[in-house]
Amino acid sequence: MSLRYMVALVLLVVVRAGGFSSIIAVVWFRDVYEATGAALVLAAFGIGTVVFPALAGALVHARTLTRVLGVVMTTNGLVMFILPLVVGAPVAAPVALMFLVGATSGAARSLLGTAITFAAPNGQRARTQSTIAWAANLGAAAAAGVAGLVTATTQQYGVLFAIEGVVLLAAAPIALILGPIAVPALGSLRDLRLEDARRLGAALTVGIGATALMQGLGTAFALGTRHPESYVSAALLNGALVLVLQPLAVRLLRDSAATHYLMAGSAVGAVTAITMAVTDSWAVLGVGWTITELLLAAGMMPTILNRTPARLHTAAFGVVGSAWGITAAGVTALLVPAASIAGSAGGWALIAAVGVALALGAAPRPRITASFIERKP
């Protein structure tokens, strides 16, 4: 693997590990503001994660990708220093800053995924996407650990935001050493044709379906289980299994089977949801959730790239980055009424339906793009 590939992976771990501030922000804003104000702040963060990754993906190209990445990481770091100073101020101030946090952190993760993919050796899309998922999960595990430790031991949340700011500002210049990466680019939004929009819409649909399964299994359990305390056990089992098994699974993955991974992951997610409606077992969830994630991580992006013209690949990464933000909010918004109407079975039925629909919609079809090989722009 090239140096730029390894550096980008390390940066992804750093960016994801820095996510502890968002977790702590939930606690902090809930303590300072009324429920409506706290909800506005968190909604602003979510909107940022939806809008900016897609916009950045549509506009970057070989010579601007790493520069934009450095800018968004720097902006994210600076906002981390400012945010603690406005906690307690009128809610408009933290709303604006949390929008920037969501926008810049979401864009950074999406752009790093793009950089890693196009810096990887040709013919290893499935392995690369699985490695990206592992790095992101490693960073997320670190973020959850830091957030849990801090909330349990201290109320000095502002110090933690400052630490994240320092880390991001120190890491941002490293993004520049990645140099230009040969990514096919759209050029500008004016170059977007109707057929391009249709294909990006299809990419978004697949992204929403896959990320809804990966996030929805845990959310459905948290909302519907008869034993709420067991959610922690399920999440810990899932996290541990993913971190251990994903590096092993990488060795077995093949690009030619990417669509089959996507279909199998969707099917496993549906079966897990159906089984959970009957068993309500945290162990069953932990194992099924893990298998679903491993397969979908390996199959989602390679399938999307195979079905998308090369000039739309960076834009496709952007819309999938936005899909994570859409499903983070949308899954909960749909599961709550489903559970209120039909109990926990209603939530699991919704997740199972997503899995079945994605498995059927992901059926193999002719690929329209050739493999890419990194070239100097």
Res 367: pLDDT: 57
Res 22: pLDDT: 67
What is the SS3 assignment for 101?
helix
Residue-range domain boundaries for the chain: 1-185, 192-363
Fold agreement between 1-185 and 192-363: yes
pTM for this model (two decimals): 0.83
Res 187: pLDDT: 55
- Given this structure, which CATH class describes domain 1-185? mainly alpha
| Domain 192-363 annotated CATH 1.25.40.10 | no
Which of 168, 167, 178 minimizes the C-alpha distance to 117?
A: 178
Res 154: pLDDT: 64
Say how far apart CA 126 and CA 249 lie, in whole Å. 10
CA-to-CA separations, 107 to 55, 167, 287, 306, 377, in angstroms, rounded: 9, 17, 30, 23, 23
Give the tokens for residue 31: 């303590």
CA-to-CA separations, 109 to 150, 164, 271, in angstroms, rounded: 24, 15, 30
Contact 226, 279 (CB under 8 A): no
Res 251: pLDDT: 86
| Number of helical (H) and strand (E) elements in the chain, helices listed first | 13, 0
As averages over each run of 10 residues, the pLDDT of the chain (377 residues) reads: 80 80 68 77 85 84 82 92 86 89 89 86 84 88 73 70 86 83 64 81 95 92 86 88 91 91 97 96 96 95 90 88 88 84 88 95 66 43
What is the SS3 assignment for 60?
coil
